[in-house]
Structure 1
Amino acid sequence: MTDGLDGWHERCRSRSRSWPLRAALGAVLLLLTCGLPAVLLAGVLHEAAGRPTVGWSGAPVGDPATRAARELGERIGAQLDRQADALLGGDRAGFLAIAEPAARPALTRRYAALRALRVTVWRPEQTGLPATVPGRPDESRLVVRFQYCFVLPDCRPSPVLIGTRWREDAGTSRLVAVEESRSAEAGARPWEASELVAAVGPRTVVATTPALRGKLPGLLRQAEAAARVADGYVVDGAPPDRYRIFYAGRAEWLSWYGGGRPKWTGGYAVTVGGGHHEVVLNAGGLSATGTDDLLRHELTHAASLPERGYPGKATWWLVEGIAEYVGVGGAPVSRYEGLAEVRELLAPAGGWNGRLDALTPADDAPARRVSGSYGVGYLAVRHLVDRFGEHRLLAFFRAVVHDRRPLDEASGQAFGQPWTALHDECVGYARSAAG
């Protein structure tokens, strides 16, 4: 299980440009369980719904109700397998055939979105036994874990938990409804909630709504350029097989992955399992330059962060600092647009105690406070890179964020220096750079 502050990374709006790097996505400010193992989540769901799980209910093997539920589960499983084969085979009629007419419009949209994303794996796995829907004695509900891949058939699949409802018709199970995913507080994935169009490149998949279709060619070019940069900051293992990027219009921004981002957010990344982080950009107000910076920042999170998320607020400065460092694209420190906000934060009235582990901005923090926090994180990382080089910085990052070692231990291992002294150097460098 994650440590509470894992999984989401966010970016804010600033006065300088529409979606500046310094207030980027990366702040893990929401108490989420995105990294919860799917098996655990399934158990939680079944417990909350009061339904038995296979091997968990304790009912005797020969219990008539249990035997009936298992037989129903087998019929449902056969239908789900047929539907999966149809999806992967491009057979829309077959995909819809297992469902009652009322369920087909939503399924049609979902089918089209998954095909647009070039789904290559779609594997349904039952998490327990079907149970009667309260108040609907003719319907049963079953939570299904779907494992999915896009573009490549041999990727590590991402899991999503989805509630399904069924009705028996002459000995055949018919799908009545598909709910939005309940994989922790992450909320519905874009392909569950919206009609999508997509473009695929060598390193990225970029998707948006039909209304924003015209943005896709430019977004794909920008995403591919950002991916080539982000690939250089992989900390553990290989780069993502494809970076997954979703470009949200106003309505989609409020619904994808549950919405509810802090007001200063312009984009975010969320871990969805299988080694993947999916990135969402807010279409409102993004300029071409801001999009380039934001993509480099966000894809750096996707490349560098562990699947289970990072340890929490105390390491926020490092997680965001490295993403800001990559996001600025090699620009000189003097051109960093957040220096004025850094100066305000470092002032006696700035409200910061001078500790990097206390740098995380609150959800309701003013935009300038957020921008200053990202700026200090960037400058701290920039100092470490200037002094020790990127290779040793990444070794430090891995020790702290992936291996969750104490800062003193990680600093001694990566830099050969005590962290207390380096911490003060980093803060001093930020003061000097901000002027």
Structure 2
Amino acid sequence: MTDGLDRWDEPRRRKPWPLLVAFGVVLLLLTCGLPAVLLVGVLHEAAGRSVVGKLGPADAGDPATLAAGQLGERIAAQLDRQATALLGGDLAGFLAVAEPAARPALARRYGALRALRVTVWRPEQTGLPTLVPGRPDEWRIMVRFQYCIVVPGCRPSPVLINTRWRDAAGAPLLVAMEESRSVETGTRPWEVSELVVAVGPRTVVATTPALRGKLPGLLRQAEAAARVADGYAVGGAPPDRYRVFYAGRAEWLSWYGGGRATWTGGYAVTVGGGHYEVVLNADGLSATGADDLLRHELTHAASLPERGYPGTSIWWMVEGIAEYAGSGATPVGRYEGLAEVRKMLAPGGGWNGRLDDLAPADDAPALRVGGSYGVGYLAVRHLVDRFGEQRFLEFFRAVVHDRRTPEKASVQAFGELWAGLHDECVNYARSAAG
């Protein structure tokens, strides 16, 4: 599988980046032959805690399989002890299940999870332990950890992590807990970084110790953005907490796999359990620019379905609603992306006039990216101005959540054919851009 990405830009904020400041990224679920991502939480759904109990009659008589099952049960007991220690704030107990060489990395992971106020940590083995090639005393087993932060009763987010164990006398000892490195989501910040965290009524904001001074301001901005984003929770209740991670230069390259387009300044990624996690790029992001970016990203977290959305043909709508929320009460004439829209709509601007072909490529030039976001915003703005927010959100839900075609959803939500409304949206963008 490849990493299919929906990315957005924010050239209109005029922050101190050379050409533009990117607005964000959402990882998509692409169907119909396109790359599939956002599969977090669907792997090993049937995985149980008991390994021996999963052995069939034919396996039960095989000595090697039986021995692996028994080892798996002993590993499960160690993982349970570690989970109890983590939730109870017992660092010594958390490290006691591991060999000394593994403890520094585990201590950092423990500290990050405790800073995030972990409330659920449930390990589930996905099969039997297997010997590590060339190491007759070392075993490997994939474990799915389900976790909640801050909110005890949340739907847990799953993360699949490879663990290695040594079958020591008495109890197996953890040799290493590796990074998840999943294609779907990539490595979580708490797996690889020391974190400091601020928690508010609606948000959790985390960063590294080097950027600790940014936390109070970021928390205030995130809380304000959450109040806006809550109004766009079209799939049900808003998120229990919006999760925001503020990345320094090194963290931007490693958290969630890195590898974003050069014009990306933030992104939202689904991590399962109905949760999205938002990452902001600290490098070049001004304090005032974070307000717009947070409104944009948290609106993605509130409005998008857990499984993502199909293909790039509705990119304009997904990004348009986030731009609409991000722009706040800014009048259309003061939208700072109008210059990019104007240039993209001019002859030779590189767009064919179809909203379903608006999404920019990863290597698109700055003007094309900025123009794409601007047209998406203007299209949504036109529909909201004409029909009201509630009817537009009905349209959005039908297309993005229920996966109906815009043609069917338009008649249902607006009582009009989509072909005509599509052309209205494009004409409105041309008129607004001058």
TM-score (normalizing by structure 1): 0.93
Q: Secondary structure of the residue that 1:286 maps to in structure 2?
A: coil
Comparing 11-20 with 74-83, greater Cα deviation is found at 11-20
| Higher relative contact order (Cα pairs below 8 Å, separated by 6+ residues) | 1
Query: 2:297·2:322 contact (CA, 8 Å) conserved in 1?
Result: yes
Match of 2:308? 309
Deviation at 1:18, TM superposition (A): 4.6
RMSD over aligned CA atoms reads 2.4
Question: Which blocks of at least 5 consecutive residues in structure 2 are unaligned?
Answer: none
Query: 1:14·1:23 contact (CA, 8 Å) conserved in 2?
Result: no
Match of 1:386? 385
Q: What does 1:11-410 align with in structure 2 at a 5 Å threshold?
A: 11-12=9-10, 16-18=14-16, 23-26=22-25, 28=27, 31-40=35-44, 60-410=59-409
Query: 2:252·2:281 contact (CA, 8 Å) conserved in 1?
Result: yes
Deviation at 1:57, TM superposition (A): 9.1
Deviation at 1:85, TM superposition (A): 0.3
Deviation at 1:22, TM superposition (A): 9.1
Deviation at 1:9, TM superposition (A): 5.0
Which amino acid in the other structure matches residue 114 of structure 2?
A: R
User: Take 2:2 and 2:222, find their aligned partners in 1: how far apart are those partners?
Assistant: 30
Query: 2:21·2:285 contact (CA, 8 Å) conserved in 1?
Result: no
Q: C-alpha deviations, 1:281-312, integer Å up to 9, x for none?
A: 00011112210000000000000000000112
Query: 1:6·1:312 contact (CA, 8 Å) conserved in 2?
Result: no
Query: 1:35·1:309 contact (CA, 8 Å) conserved in 2?
Result: no
Deviation at 1:366, TM superposition (A): 1.0
Q: Secondary structure of the residue that 1:146 maps to in structure 2?
A: strand
User: Take 1:115 and 1:157, find their aligned partners in 2: how far apart are those partners?
Assistant: 16
- Residues 412, 208 of structure 1: CA spacing in aligned structure 2 closer, same or farther, 3 A cutoff? same
User: Take 1:216 and 1:84, find their aligned partners in 2: how far apart are those partners?
Assistant: 28
User: Take 2:343 and 2:372, find their aligned partners in 1: how far apart are those partners?
Assistant: 10
User: Take 1:333 and 1:184, find their aligned partners in 2: how far apart are those partners?
Assistant: 39
Query: 1:35·1:307 contact (CA, 8 Å) conserved in 2?
Result: no
Q: Secondary structure of the residue that 2:60 maps to in structure 1?
A: coil
- Residues 332, 57 of structure 1: CA spacing in aligned structure 2 closer, same or farther, 3 A cutoff? farther
User: Take 2:53 and 2:42, find their aligned partners in 1: how far apart are those partners?
Assistant: 15
User: Take 2:13 and 2:326, find their aligned partners in 1: how far apart are those partners?
Assistant: 18
Q: Percent identity?
A: 74
User: Take 1:364 and 1:21, find their aligned partners in 2: how far apart are those partners?
Assistant: 14
Query: 2:6·2:26 contact (CA, 8 Å) conserved in 1?
Result: yes
Which amino acid in the other structure matches residue 148 of structure 1?
A: Y
User: Take 2:2 and 2:148, find their aligned partners in 1: how far apart are those partners?
Assistant: 27
- Residues 42, 269 of structure 1: CA spacing in aligned structure 2 closer, same or farther, 3 A cutoff? farther
Deviation at 1:87, TM superposition (A): 0.3
Deviation at 1:17, TM superposition (A): 2.4
Deviation at 1:38, TM superposition (A): 3.3
Which amino acid in the other structure matches residue 366 of structure 2?
A: A
Query: 2:222·2:294 contact (CA, 8 Å) conserved in 1?
Result: yes
Q: C-alpha deviations, 1:20-62, integer Å up to 9, x for none?
A: 999522455794522344335899xxxxxxxx99859995222
User: Take 1:57 and 1:295, find their aligned partners in 2: how far apart are those partners?
Assistant: 51
Query: 2:16·2:286 contact (CA, 8 Å) conserved in 1?
Result: yes
Question: Which blocks of at least 5 consecutive residues in structure 1 are unaligned?
Answer: 44-51
User: Take 2:425 and 2:276, find their aligned partners in 1: how far apart are those partners?
Assistant: 29
Deviation at 1:136, TM superposition (A): 1.4
TM-score (normalizing by structure 2): 0.93
User: Take 1:5 and 1:102, find their aligned partners in 2: how far apart are those partners?
Assistant: 34
- Residues 202, 303 of structure 1: CA spacing in aligned structure 2 closer, same or farther, 3 A cutoff? same
